[in-house]
Structure 1
Amino acid sequence: MGKTLFDKIWDSHVVVSKDGHPDAVYINTHFIHEVTSPQAFDGLRKRGIPVFRPGKTKATADHNVPTLHQDQPIKEALSRRQVEMLTRNTAEFGIDLYGLGHRYQGIVHVIGPELGITLPGMTIVCGDSHTSTHGAFGAVAFGIGTSEVEQVLATQCILQYKPKRMKIEINGQLGKGVVSKDIILYIISRISASGATGYFVEYAGDAIRSLSMEARMTICNMSIEMGARGGLIAPDDVTFEYLKGREFAPKGADWDNALAYWKTLHSDADAEFDKVLSFDAADIEPQITYGTNPGMGMAVTGRIPAVEEIEEKERPSFRKSLDYMNLQPGKPLLGQKVDYVFIGSCTNSRIEDLRLVADFVKGKRKADDVVVWIVPGSKQVEAQAKAEGIDKIFAEAGFQLREPGCSACLAMNEDKVPADMYCISTSNRNFEGRQGPNARTFLASPLTAAAAAITGKVTDIRSFIGNN
């Protein structure tokens, strides 16, 4: 019997496997940031042990960093302390750090791929749930907890039970105005925020194959939002073309050898999955969430479900969610006033995202009562946006292009949406208080967010491109 892509990578990295116990899995690359690493380093100090393979760990500052005036000391005390500790810890233990001011600084799941650190066939972990982003390259990548960060620092291995395998196929042609964020929001709305719990998901089908690498990263990024341990896509010519020439990607003969291996990374024709789901790309419209988990989503032209349409056991949480959002069951969201627009996060802050938004807003102006934050995912994305004149397009539209960081995705920094305000966000979570205490979040694609920025309300992007 053939193997799935996930099995091929996982099995080749297992160091020890015993029935009834988690596998000891070797980790190729370990990313760290300022939030989930300090306790791990303290644990190493208390035990008097070094980082086992410091060259396999890469660090950056992203979660707590300000996105304005990064050349100045961080004002918020806890954020400043965490960033200072990252600098100290990486220096003490000999780990490369792309901190504030470094030309490679940025969101951890943006810089890994753009630098060519993320490669097909790897096992990758980070103390951050959206590590699944790296799976877009045909890697087994997943988030870990702080105690596991210490485990990987100490041994370059991790103890994990092997997940089940799921395949999600998307076939057909996407409609106008529909992008990768809409694909993943649609999938999550169909199977729920827990529908892939216990699984590692492989995305397949011609609609997935048609996507760019950056679009694929958006898909894999939100695998965790349907409960999956991670998600991945088999590498192909799109992957190889993206990686060629990247700073830390293999060169010369090493590239040729790597490429030969990467071309073997696909699920065999007779591989068996524990579960297979299929969707038609033609059924996917621009999406938006209405509740307080990413599974509470719908087409932007749809209506919020009536209470009677919700399973009885789910009704209390459904009502609680709508109370928090101050929305009514059975009502549409089209025309709903928006106060903030946030375009950024590890889900949608790459140069393609910024180009997409810039192409749409060029020659337009934001609504007067909307605040628009554009936060690039890295210093390289920021520099590219300026080189292409995207910064000027944003300025003319009244959008604020800030500096790299996680920003208003999680409001662990200074970028918070005020209480009771509505924000259309290209990030990955719409939990209560996620973007600030009592802030209300609609998740959507960069195009849908840009349309709201211009109109000041929830808008079907297709009304601008003639596909209604």
Structure 2
Amino acid sequence: MPKTLFEKIWDRHVVKTIEGGPSVLYIDKHFIHEVTSPQAFKGLEKRGLEVFRPKQIVATADHNVPTIDQHLPIKEELSRIQVQALVDNTKKHHIDLYGLGHPYQGIVHVIGPELGVTQPGMTIVCGDSHTSTHGAFATISFGIGTSEVEMVMATQCLLQSKPKLMRINVEGTLNKGVTSKDIILYIIAHISASGATGYFVEYAGSAIRSLSMEGRMTICNMSIEMGARGGMIAPDQTTFDYLEGREFAPEGAEWEKKLTEWKQLHSDEDALFDKEITIAAADIEPMITYGTNPGMGVSVTGRIPAEADPKSLAYMGLQAGAAIKGKKVDYVFIGSCTNSRIEDLRLVASFVKGRKKADNVEVWVVPGSKQVEQQAIKEGIDKVFAEAGFNLRQPGCSACLAMNEDKIPAGKYCISTSNRNFEGRQGPNARTLLASPLTAAVAAITGEVADIREFI
């Protein structure tokens, strides 16, 4: 019987199916951070339980960490307490921690792939909704709640109902200035912020296959923003080339064995999906959001729809029917688990080299990991940013969610390469416009929403 990519991985991990109920799903890798793990550890201790398989857990500090002066004590009390709790809990339970000061520290969804921990065919969970990022490597990866974090710690399994399956095909050649971030913002605007609710999405088509692994991670990262349980992409030579030689990737005979297995991870030709959508790559332009969910997006040359939610527009200080291009911005944030990898920083640096930021804009560039930061310094990207007036900070989630010291002031407009633009997401009453690294870069230089195609 033909199977989808999702079904092939799911079926291999089902320990038991409960009649008329969920399945007991085995979890290969469990990523944890300082925000959703303390309560789970406390729950285990109350029940007198040990972590069942600590070597299948990888921990890092990312959400609460400052992005300047990381060698100093954390100023915000709650952040300091949460990060310290992670240090104490991982030490007590013998879990590998890549905390502040460690050369592998970084955003959880950046370090997993770059270290080779994330590998095709796995099931991966984390107490973070953007765990779907790892699906770029043909994994079933999704975010879980704190009680589920505790369940996986205790059993290495999780109760899960099998989702419906959707395939989104993006076919053709991308236009000049269009990136993977524009693809996913276009898809979400096309089907809405709830258009994939109840589904696990496989992305396919020639435009998807043309993307780098960094680009594929950006696509899968934002699957959750259209309501999907997760997103995934079949592996190919691009996947294998990315993984080979990474710190925790297989080596030698084990690599060859795994490679043979991974090459079988694709949807069979006659596999059936509950829903299928095809999008022409030629229809996608550089995108930007105007509202308070990621589905409220238009081309940078477009106008805010007449039917746009009035409450959302009131919060954003925008008007229906108005052009978005030319809108003045105050902050530019380049970072988050969506767009903070070395490829993103290289792309921004290639555009801003020899240019200066606009006087009215403050620019924060936050690498996704210590490895990204060190690579940027090695390549001289840090100097390019310094000459342009950009502030290259240290790794962390930063202004993606304002759970740390990096907050956008009330009423200010921020073009952000992150994944969410809900009210208060980047700080109380902050106004967020989601865009690609290229669109963010041109806004930093011009001081307003601009069309990158006019500059390249």
What TM-score does the superposition give when structure 2 sets the normalisation length?
Answer: 1.00
Aligned match of 2:273:
273
Aligned match of 2:301:
301
Tell me, what secondary structure is at the counterpart of 1:282? helix
**Alignment map for 1:93-104 (pairs within 5 Å):** 93-104=93-104
- Counterparts of 1:440 and 1:184 in 2: how far apart (Å)? 21
**Alignment map for 1:241-256 (pairs within 5 Å):** 241-256=241-256
**Alignment map for 1:398-437 (pairs within 5 Å):** 398-437=389-428
- Counterparts of 2:412 and 2:234 in 1: how far apart (Å)? 40
> What amino acid sits opposite 1:133 in the alignment?
T
1:445-468 residue CA offsets vs partner (Å, 9 max, x unmatched): 000000000000000000102xxx
Q: 1:300: Cα distance to partner?
A: 0.5
Aligned partner (choices 378, 393, 410) of residue 369 of structure 2: 378
Aligned match of 1:109:
109
Tell me, what secondary structure is at the counterpart of 1:364? coil
Equivalent residue pairs, number: 456
- Counterparts of 2:270 and 2:282 in 1: how far apart (Å)? 28
Q: 1:21: Cα distance to partner?
A: 1.0
**Alignment map for 1:378-397 (pairs within 5 Å):** 378-397=369-388
Aligned match of 1:30:
30
Unaligned runs of 5+ in 1: 311-317
Aligned match of 1:150:
150
Aligned match of 2:189:
189
Tell me, what secondary structure is at the counterpart of 1:189? helix
Aligned match of 2:201:
201
Q: 1:295: Cα distance to partner?
A: 0.2
- Counterparts of 2:51 and 2:7 in 1: how far apart (Å)? 28
1:429-450 residue CA offsets vs partner (Å, 9 max, x unmatched): 0000000000000000000000
> What amino acid sits opposite 2:408 in the alignment?
V
- Counterparts of 1:92 and 1:334 in 2: how far apart (Å)? 53
- Counterparts of 2:200 and 2:367 in 1: how far apart (Å)? 29
> What amino acid sits opposite 1:383 in the alignment?
Q
Aligned match of 1:9:
9
Aligned match of 2:448:
457
RMSD across aligned positions (CA): 0.5
**Alignment map for 1:33-72 (pairs within 5 Å):** 33-72=33-72
> What amino acid sits opposite 1:69 in the alignment?
D
> What amino acid sits opposite 1:440 in the alignment?
R
Aligned match of 2:124:
124
Tell me, what secondary structure is at the counterpart of 1:25? strand
- Counterparts of 1:101 and 1:22 in 2: how far apart (Å)? 41
Tell me, what secondary structure is at the counterpart of 2:152? helix
- Counterparts of 1:451 and 1:200 in 2: how far apart (Å)? 34
Q: 1:399: Cα distance to partner?
A: 0.1
> What amino acid sits opposite 1:320 in the alignment?
K
Q: 1:40: Cα distance to partner?
A: 0.2
Aligned match of 1:341:
332
> What amino acid sits opposite 2:263 in the alignment?
K
Q: 1:368: Cα distance to partner?
A: 0.5
Aligned match of 2:226:
226
Tell me, what secondary structure is at the counterpart of 1:176? coil
1:46-89 residue CA offsets vs partner (Å, 9 max, x unmatched): 11110000000000000000000000000000000000000000
- Counterparts of 1:389 and 1:422 in 2: how far apart (Å)? 29
- Counterparts of 2:44 and 2:314 in 1: how far apart (Å)? 45
Aligned partner (choices 329, 332, 348) of residue 320 of structure 2: 329
- Counterparts of 1:120 and 1:46 in 2: how far apart (Å)? 35
- Counterparts of 1:100 and 1:447 in 2: how far apart (Å)? 29
Runs of 4+ aligned residues of structure 1 deviating over 2 Å after TM superposition are: none
Tell me, what secondary structure is at the counterpart of 1:74? coil
- Counterparts of 1:200 and 1:399 in 2: how far apart (Å)? 38
Unaligned runs of 5+ in 2: none
Aligned match of 2:84:
84
Q: 1:20: Cα distance to partner?
A: 1.4
Aligned match of 1:285:
285
Q: 1:18: Cα distance to partner?
A: 2.1
Tell me, what secondary structure is at the counterpart of 2:261? helix
Q: 1:19: Cα distance to partner?
A: 2.6
The reply to whether residue 358 of structure 1 matches residue 356 of structure 2 is: no
- Counterparts of 1:295 and 1:333 in 2: how far apart (Å)? 15
Aligned match of 1:447:
438
1:369-417 residue CA offsets vs partner (Å, 9 max, x unmatched): 1000000000000000000000000000000000000000000000000
- Counterparts of 1:198 and 1:7 in 2: how far apart (Å)? 15
- Counterparts of 1:46 and 1:335 in 2: how far apart (Å)? 56
What TM-score does the superposition give when structure 1 sets the normalisation length?
Answer: 0.97
1:352-380 residue CA offsets vs partner (Å, 9 max, x unmatched): 00000000000000001100000000000
1:230-275 residue CA offsets vs partner (Å, 9 max, x unmatched): 0000000000000000000000111010000000000000100000
Q: Identity, % of aligned pairs?
A: 75
> What amino acid sits opposite 1:338 in the alignment?
V
> What amino acid sits opposite 1:119 in the alignment?
Q
> What amino acid sits opposite 2:412 in the alignment?
M
- Counterparts of 2:311 and 2:348 in 1: how far apart (Å)? 33
Aligned match of 1:313:
none
- Counterparts of 1:280 and 1:216 in 2: how far apart (Å)? 17
The reply to whether residue 163 of structure 1 matches residue 163 of structure 2 is: yes
> What amino acid sits opposite 1:24 in the alignment?
V
Aligned match of 1:315:
none
